[in-house]
């Protein structure tokens, strides 16, 4: 039964990581910068993978702190810990659901040196004929200026992702506390596969395709999807409490 619960958490975690990676902020800037600088597909995918690993490393480090704190709390609360976890996950699900219903969506980071137009809600940018707000935000920045070396673009893209962890995955670590360090390692691997794999896949598909992938709906409905996934995890936490 515990193996089934861990598998459920892992699958849900993969969905959260891949959904997070599918948001254009995580891969579209690499495509645009690559085209502006005439990077090869191999170099672009290497940049995406490297930045994605930095993204995962910081998230896993924060997850380690959450796991350690959860282990201590689990020892103190015993059978009450799953109830606390379920309550927190349900509260997170409610929060994301509220953001979706009120049109706030989930806001994401932007490359250094760019500005984000405040006139539109997150995830509600217009995309006409393959043009996105990223084209405007990256215009005239060190990331695409030909007179600036590749180092400016590489470091800017790397910092953009590395210093902005996958906040949606952090509650996943909390839900896996009862599985100890094994659960932490499994979830960290799942995070890497979902996030880095998703970013690399979407970047590659866009590079080899004739048109940019249309995944704006993921961004628009990300909050609602996260609400559903965290609601599932809350049920799993209650299930674990019942089994104990």
41-68 pLDDT tens trace:
999 999 999 999 999 999 999 999 999 9
164 dihedral zone (left: phi>0; alpha: psi -120 to 50; beta): beta
Instruction: Check residue 59 and give its pLDDT.
Output: 94
Average pLDDT along the chain = 78
**What six digits make up the tokens of 214?**
């249309």
Coil, helix or strand at residue 23: coil
Regions in the chain scoring below 50 on pLDDT: 109-121, 123-131, 144, 210
Full-model pTM: 0.77
From residue 42, how far is each of 39, 162, 213 by CA, in Å?
A: 8, 21, 19
Question: How many other β-carbons are positioned within 10 Å of the β-carbon of residue 87?
Answer: 13
From residue 120, how far is each of 19, 116, 130, 133, 217 by CA, in Å?
A: 22, 9, 19, 11, 15
Bridge partners (DSSP) listed for residue 57 = none
Instruction: Check residue 112 and give its pLDDT.
Output: 47
Instruction: Check residue 213 and give its pLDDT.
Output: 56
């Amino acid at each position: 039964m515990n193996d089934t619960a861990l598998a459920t958490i892992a699958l849900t975690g993969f969905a959260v990581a891949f959904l997070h990676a599918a948001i254009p902020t995580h891969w579209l800037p690499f495509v645009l910068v690559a085209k502006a600088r005439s990077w090869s597909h191999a170099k672009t995918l290497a940049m995406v993978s490297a930045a994605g690993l930095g993204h995962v490393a910081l998230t896993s480090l924060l997850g380690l702190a959450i796991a350690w704190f959860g282990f201590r709390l689990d020892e103190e609360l015993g059978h009450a810990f799953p109830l606390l976890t379920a309550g927190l996950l349900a509260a997170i699900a409610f929060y994301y659901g509220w953001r979706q219903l009120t049109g706030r969506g989930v806001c994401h980071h932007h490359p250094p040196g760019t500005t984000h137009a405040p006139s539109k809600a997150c995830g509600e940018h217009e995309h006409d004929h393959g043009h996105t707000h990223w084209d405007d935000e990256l215009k005239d920045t060190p990331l695409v200026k030909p007179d600036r070396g590749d180092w400016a673009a590489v470091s800017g893209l790397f910092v953009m992702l590395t210093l902005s962890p996958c906040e949606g995955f952090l509650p996943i670590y909390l839900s896996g506390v009862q599985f100890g360090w094994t659960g932490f390692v499994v979830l960290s691997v799942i995070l890497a596969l979902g996030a880095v794999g998703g970013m690399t896949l979407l970047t590659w598909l866009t590079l080899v395709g004739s048109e940019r992938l249309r995944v704006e709906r993921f961004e628009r409905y990300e909050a609602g999807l996260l609400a559903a996934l965290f609601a599932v995890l809350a049920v799993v936490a209650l299930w674990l409490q019942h089994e104990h």
